[in-house]
Chain A
Amino acid sequence: MADARRKLDIVAETGPVGSARIHDSAPKHVAGEAFYIDDIAAPEGLLHAYLGLSGIAHGQLTSLDLDAVRAAPGVVSVLTAADIPGANDISSTHRHDEPVFATDRILFHGQPLFAVVAETREQARHAAVLAKAEYAEETPLLDIAAARAAGGRLVTDPLKLERGDVATAMAASPRRLKGAMTIGGQEHFYLESQIALAIPGEDEDMTLLVSTQHPSEVQHMVAAVLGVGSHAVTVEVRRMGGGFGGKETQANLFACVAAIAARKLKRPVKLRPDRDDDMAITGKRHDFVCDYEIGFDDEGRIHALDAVYAARCGWNADLSGPVTDRALFHMDNCYFYPAVRARSEPLFTNTCSNTAFRGFGGPQGMVGAERFIEEVAYATGLDPLEVRRRNLYGGGGRDVTPYHQTVEDNIAADVIAELERRCDYQARKADIREANRASPIVKRGIALTPVKFGISFTATWFNQAGALVHVYTDGTVALNHGGTEMGQGLYIKVAQVVAQAFGIGLDQVKITATTTGKVPNTSATAASSGSDLNGMAALDACETIKKRLREFAAKHWQVEAEDIAFLPGRVKIGAREIAFKDLIAAAYMARVQLSATGFYATPKIHWDRKAGRGHPFYYFAYGAAAAEVAIDTLTGEYRVERVDILHDCGQSLNPAIDKGQIEGGFVQGMGWLTTEELVWDKKGRLWTHAPSTYKIPVASDRPRVFNVHLLENAPNREPTIHRSKAVGEPPLMLAISVLHALSDAVASVGDHRICPRLDAPATPERVLDAVERVRAEAAR
């Protein structure tokens, strides 16, 4: 209690940064008063578009009869590629491999062929299924094995990372082993499905409300398909009902189709796919197969590592290049490989085009790293945590990553040690081993895994942001920046920064919707970068205004500029203190500009992809998690009984928001590694296209005991916004502890001598398979 009070006092003295403020929209969320795009009152004359989809996964479209669609009740128009005034291309990496509508080649089941526009959404949806398409069907390549067997066509250039002489080091290693790991994909399952509303204006103007993480890209794509300049298109988003990477590029299609229809019909058009169609059309997290060879010694030290990361990318490149790159960037996790080679294999398949998803390939790379550790642990008979410790980055030349960046801020060992102590890991592990002996059916397991996640877009130019801050004459502030709000609390964090900068209350800062009309050329809100980039840009704008105010006040009140301070609730000007709003009123009368833009570009980073060398990450975020599970060896069912997390948010901007990101990211990661299984049928139809068949965690799946702590006294060593660290993605990978706890429980049936090699997702079926395999091998 005393602690809590002291903390409150500090808040009162220092302002909102670092305090556990509620999400700015929370009171609206709970009352149903927060507007999502489908809630906004429809403009006069609104029409509804719906997509008509291909019924095969691969082949030639030989005819498309749309007469029945046109004749259906309420239908106003039907659009095909011929109706696109500009380019029939929305490929985000400009490879021209992603048409809005297919014209001849069908590359996946659910590919848009046309759109129908009707007076109501129901009419459009009913009409869309009346099309008669004929195809010359070809065999689809549906998974990694099929793609490889067919020659391994790639959707984008692969990446190779190499350091040291792997062949020699491997040959010289005292021991070697080879293996492969299958790592499943993941559907985003944002609760608000994709949606776009396009409103045509005068000239060539088009205004869109789109649920997107990347308004600037939507703007550019719409401009390209309409054949107009970007200046004619404005894209706005106040909030998304979840994004998770699924609205980084995947919103483009829906926005472009709505815009094409609105342009043609000169009426506002909305497009919102049904959940099942959304799941069939849009890309997901890439599934991977990681083939590896490890050279190591009897002390559990890795000498050499050689791995290939094959990914099912789907029918076009989309973000598969950077995603598979990031898998390679995280193939080390926290571990030093003296000699290493990693290669990516971004494979073309006839499935939806896989895309960004929280972690962006990093989780798949990291899951592989923890498998390497596990392999070495079982091969040497050492405890996996001990093997982890022995291979951590450290001094003495053991601090260079496979991409030749030196790890300068390494705190993994400290985080692991602190968590191990806090959760009583060793004693509990011993207790579990003991209890398992007396329990023939239910077996428990425990594992502690660390996380080191690189912060920055690896496309270096994306690491920039802009902001726009207006101070009105009554002292209230309107804040705008290029970051989008998808629930992660970016808006409140940046508002905290702005309120703190001016010394005003949060209630004096109005958070305004992200729009390309206010801040141009923004990057996607992605790569965990939102508050790092936009917080700094907003602060820059505030400092510009403050500089003008200081100069004005110094002159007006005849004091030195350094004797002016913006304190909580007041401005100190020499000996006097006045209210912020009074300073603003006086500054306005003196014709001081009270509006400013701000800009930020992340320093220090560079990356040469061809050479596989550079300093792609500004810093690393760290964390560790210990998970305890129980499995049923008759059915493979399991339950996460306890999870302890210690996570590094630097000096948190908002501990409540950050804790929410950690808990939510963990559970989402747990879903990815456990019950979330994507299944396609032989025809290439996504079989798990709805929540009835695709199972994300529910309330009872969260860990029974869930202790989450932010690492204390750990300011970012880089001068980030108030020394905080990015938090959006890193906690997702803490869930790898669950996979390894399950593996530990499985291993108990073979007396911990056999490596379970549990692949992901570890569904009950996979767990039971692993139990039986370990049992059989142990009996041999």
Chain B
Amino acid sequence: MRERLRFLLGDELVEIDRCDPTLTVLDWLRLEKRMTGSKEGCAEGDCGACTVVVGRLDRGRLRYEAVNACIRFLPTLDGCQLLTVEHLKGDDGSLHPVQQAMVECHGSQCGFCTPGFVMSLFALRLNEAEPSISRIEDALAGNLCRCTGYEPIIAAGRRMDEIAPRETDRFLREREVIAARLAALNDAATLALEDEGGRFYAPATVEALAELVAAHPQTTLVAGATDVGLWVTKAMKRLDPVIYLGRIEALRAITDEGDHLRFGAMAGHIDVRAALATLSPQLDELMRRFGGEQVRNAGTIGGNIANGSPIGDLPPALIALDSTLVLAQRGRAGVERRTISLESFFLDYRKQDRRPAEFVEAVLVPKLAPDMLFHASKVSKRFDEDISAVCGAFRLTRHADGPISEARLAYGGMAGIPKRAAAAEAALIGRPWDEDAVEAAIAALARDFTPLSDMRASADYRLKIAGNLLRRFLIETTQPQTETRVAGLLAEAAHG
């Protein structure tokens, strides 16, 4: 056990012995450090005004990620480097190229969102050379601006590397030094903190995690905190104790196991996307639209599943792909595991098949066989950074273009849990993949689902879309020359 939180704020070592487990990084910066450059716009990870950059070691390499400071708990920074807008100016007071580009392009008006945009662009610059407009849009999907209409900010994203080449950036030049300092902070001991606000544990191994969860079955397990953060900032819940999974490197691994991919529960959405993209471009597109960049940087595949949201974007796709879930807990002889199908994990609204001392350890996602067709679509009010009204993911198996032998149609947003459309699936079996099959399946959907009307969509619209996504699936698989998408990667691929 180590009872001291350690991280770098810029290049200054911060050591804290007593800390509220759910103190947000933003409150710590603004209230305790009086560093007020990072702003609170929404306190729920949707506007990006609080964006900071966190450097962490990823398999020995320093990796920089833009994250929302408003829903990130301070103790989860253990072993990381925190960079804020205050760190960007040079020692001589000169603006960083990202800042200079924003000024030159008239990228700020009221200026309140600006530090967040600067930090998102800064993270992009550290990670990628000459990003395309589409990539800049991705990187800024989690930053709201109400004044500029974004055009000048995109221009600044194009301009920043012209002002000073990326390679000359002092943050990239200092990378090795920082990596070495972080390596020295990353030990195998469990971090344990406590104050009147509660207890915080961050184990470094799966074994230590299993012990802790067994000892504290009522604990809140925290992965990316992109939802749990809101329990604190919006629902004003006190969480005690908190067990943070982010220090366990083994849980972040993604491995190719031949016929399937194995995702550690803490695999982040950016890495998950890259791996799933190898299965289907449809998954690449689905994951591109997952939250904003800050949420994609913080969020994890295990968190998205274990959270049990009826509208999580990953479960429908993973259920359609017939994924299985590995649940682990402390047993008599070390860590014991059980494996269940992912769809059986979701029992009812916000209720999952997870025992008190269990945690999600991994997800196994089968690859697509050559005789399978696959589709994933998300429909939301706004294209980027929105929650699905309906998310549909479909996998069909046919033998040599013959009749459908297996159908897995999974939907989010249609029920209290991510759920398969059993009647529609049955309607497809044995039929050739054609319009008649689709119409039969659509007719059956009304038996599968009684969706709700809410602020995102009406029940009618949801049911209509659930069916129309099957029509889209058919057209995309049988008439590839027909344009079916108005935006996103698949639209860009279709017409340049």
CB within 8 Å of B: which residues of A?
Answer: 22-23, 25-36, 38-39, 41, 122, 125-126, 129, 188-193, 239-244, 274-276, 439-442, 486-489, 630-632, 634-639, 656-657, 659-660, 663-668, 675, 677, 679, 687-688, 690-693, 695-702, 706, 708, 763-765, 768-769
11 A-B pairs (CB sep. < 8 Å):
A23-B111, A27-B103, A30-B98, A35-B36, A126-B236, A192-B110, A275-B43, A667-B150, A679-B455, A697-B149, A700-B137
Interface string of B102-123 (1 = CB under 8 A from A): 1110111111111100100000
With beta carbons under 8 angstroms apart, the residue of A240, A439, A675, A706 that contacts B151 is: A706
Residue B39 lies at the interface, judged by CB distance under 8 Å to chain A: yes
Residues of chain B contacted by A440 (CB below 8 angstroms): 482
CA–CA, A189 and B144, complex, Å: 10
CA–CA, A690 and B385, complex, Å: 13
With A687-B455, A701-B383 given, is the CB distance from A191 to B41 under 8 Å?
yes
CA–CA, A569 and B379, complex, Å: 59
Contact B110 A697 (CB under 8 A): no
CB distance from A695 to the nearest CB of B (A): 4
Chain A residue nearest to B36 in the complex (CB):
A39
Residues of chain B contacted by A660 (CB below 8 angstroms): 106, 109, 147-148, 152
Contact B381 A763 (CB under 8 A): yes
Contact A634 B468 (CB under 8 A): yes
Chain-A contact segment, one of B81-89, B217-225, B300-308, B421-429 = B81-89
In addition to A30-B118, A634-B468, A677-B455, 10 A-B residue pairs with Cβ atoms within 8 Å of each other are A26-B103, A26-B106, A29-B115, A38-B36, A39-B30, A441-B482, A664-B109, A667-B148, A697-B382, A699-B145
Contact B113 A191 (CB under 8 A): yes
CA–CA, A489 and B112, complex, Å: 14
With beta carbons under 8 angstroms apart, the residue of B34, B137, B457, B465 that contacts A699 is: B137
B437-468 contacts to A (CB < 8 Å): 454-458, 461, 464-465, 468
B124-173 contacts to A (CB < 8 Å): 136-138, 140-141, 143-154
Contact A30 B99 (CB under 8 A): yes
With A30-B108, A441-B475 given, is the CB distance from A242 to B146 under 8 Å?
yes
Chain B residue nearest to A125 in the complex (CB):
B236
With beta carbons under 8 angstroms apart, the residue of B38, B47, B103, B486 that contacts A638 is: B486
With A191-B112, A698-B385, A701-B384 given, is the CB distance from A668 to B146 under 8 Å?
yes
CA–CA, A239 and B47, complex, Å: 20
Contact B44 A668 (CB under 8 A): no
Contact A241 B102 (CB under 8 A): no
CA–CA, A677 and B381, complex, Å: 9
Residues of chain A contacted by B151 (CB below 8 angstroms): 663, 702, 706, 708
- The SS class assigned to the A binding surface is loop
Chain B residue nearest to A695 in the complex (CB):
B382
CA–CA, A767 and B109, complex, Å: 32
Contact A663 B379 (CB under 8 A): no
Contact A693 B456 (CB under 8 A): yes
Contact B149 A664 (CB under 8 A): yes
Residues of chain B contacted by A240 (CB below 8 angstroms): 110
CA–CA, A701 and B106, complex, Å: 19
CB distance from A141 to the nearest CB of B (A): 20
Residue B249 lies at the interface, judged by CB distance under 8 Å to chain A: no
Chain B residue nearest to A246 in the complex (CB):
B146
Contact B148 A663 (CB under 8 A): yes
Residue B350 lies at the interface, judged by CB distance under 8 Å to chain A: no
Residues of chain B contacted by A488 (CB below 8 angstroms): 109
CA–CA, A676 and B243, complex, Å: 38
With A22-B106, A667-B149 given, is the CB distance from A635 to B455 under 8 Å?
no
Chain B residue nearest to A192 in the complex (CB):
B112
Residues of chain B contacted by A666 (CB below 8 angstroms): 149
Residue B234 lies at the interface, judged by CB distance under 8 Å to chain A: yes
Residues of chain A contacted by B40 (CB below 8 angstroms): 38
Residue B37 lies at the interface, judged by CB distance under 8 Å to chain A: yes
CA–CA, A696 and B46, complex, Å: 11
Residues of chain A contacted by B118 (CB below 8 angstroms): 30, 32
Residues of chain B contacted by A27 (CB below 8 angstroms): 95, 99, 103
CA–CA, A27 and B89, complex, Å: 11
Chain B residue nearest to A485 in the complex (CB):
B110
Interface string of B375-396 (1 = CB under 8 A from A): 0010101111111010000000
Residues of chain B contacted by A679 (CB below 8 angstroms): 454-455
Contact A276 B112 (CB under 8 A): no
Contact B486 A696 (CB under 8 A): no
Interface string of B352-368 (1 = CB under 8 A from A): 00000000000000000
Contact A36 B147 (CB under 8 A): no
Contact A439 B115 (CB under 8 A): no
CB within 8 Å of A: which residues of B?
Answer: 27, 30, 34-44, 46-47, 49, 84-86, 88-89, 95, 98-100, 102-104, 106-115, 118, 136-138, 140-141, 143-154, 233-234, 236, 292, 377, 379, 381-387, 389, 454-458, 461, 464-465, 468-469, 471-472, 475, 482-487, 491
With beta carbons under 8 angstroms apart, the residue of A41, A242, A701 that contacts B110 is: A242
Residues of chain B contacted by A29 (CB below 8 angstroms): 102, 108, 111, 114-115
- The SS class assigned to the B binding surface is loop
With A26-B106, A487-B110, A663-B149 given, is the CB distance from A699 to B143 under 8 Å?
yes
CA–CA, A668 and B147, complex, Å: 8
CA–CA, A736 and B89, complex, Å: 41
With A191-B110, A487-B110, A637-B487 given, is the CB distance from A32 to B36 under 8 Å?
yes
Residues of chain A contacted by B109 (CB below 8 angstroms): 23, 487-489, 660, 664
CA–CA, A708 and B149, complex, Å: 12
Residues of chain A contacted by B387 (CB below 8 angstroms): 692-693
With A192-B41, A275-B44 given, is the CB distance from A442 to B483 under 8 Å?
yes
In the complex, which of the residues A38, A188, A699 has the most CB atoms of chain B within 10 Å of its own CB atom?
Answer: A699
List the 8 closest A-B pairs by CB distance, nearest first. A32-B37, A487-B110, A241-B112, A29-B111, A667-B149, A487-B109, A691-B46, A32-B85
Contact A699 B150 (CB under 8 A): yes
Contact A765 B458 (CB under 8 A): yes
Residues of chain B contacted by A706 (CB below 8 angstroms): 149, 151
Residues of chain A contacted by B136 (CB below 8 angstroms): 699
Residues of chain A contacted by B487 (CB below 8 angstroms): 637, 639, 700
CA–CA, A489 and B148, complex, Å: 12
Residues of chain B contacted by A25 (CB below 8 angstroms): 108, 111
CB distance from B398 to the nearest CB of A (A): 23
Residues of chain A contacted by B85 (CB below 8 angstroms): 30-32
Contact B486 A632 (CB under 8 A): yes
Chain B residue nearest to A73 in the complex (CB):
B196
With beta carbons under 8 angstroms apart, the residue of B38, B46, B111, B485 that contacts A632 is: B485
Chain A residue nearest to B485 in the complex (CB):
A632
With A241-B112, A242-B110 given, is the CB distance from A691 to B44 under 8 Å?
yes
CB distance from B144 to the nearest CB of A (A): 6
With beta carbons under 8 angstroms apart, the residue of A632, A657, A708 that contacts B484 is: A632
Residues of chain B contacted by A33 (CB below 8 angstroms): 37
Contact B102 A30 (CB under 8 A): yes
CB distance from B438 to the nearest CB of A (A): 12
CB distance from A528 to the nearest CB of B (A): 15
With beta carbons under 8 angstroms apart, the residue of A26, A487, A697, A700 that contacts B102 is: A26
CB distance from A685 to the nearest CB of B (A): 11
CA–CA, A495 and B116, complex, Å: 28
CA–CA, A660 and B109, complex, Å: 8
CB distance from B445 to the nearest CB of A (A): 14
CA–CA, A675 and B456, complex, Å: 10
CB distance from B90 to the nearest CB of A (A): 11
CA–CA, A254 and B108, complex, Å: 27
Contact B108 A23 (CB under 8 A): yes
In the complex, which of the residues B99, B106, B152 has the most CB atoms of chain A within 10 Å of its own CB atom?
Answer: B106
Residues of chain B contacted by A663 (CB below 8 angstroms): 148-149, 151-152
Contact B42 A691 (CB under 8 A): yes
With A22-B106, A275-B44 given, is the CB distance from A699 to B140 under 8 Å?
yes
CA–CA, A440 and B475, complex, Å: 10
Contact A442 B484 (CB under 8 A): yes
Residues of chain A contacted by B491 (CB below 8 angstroms): 639
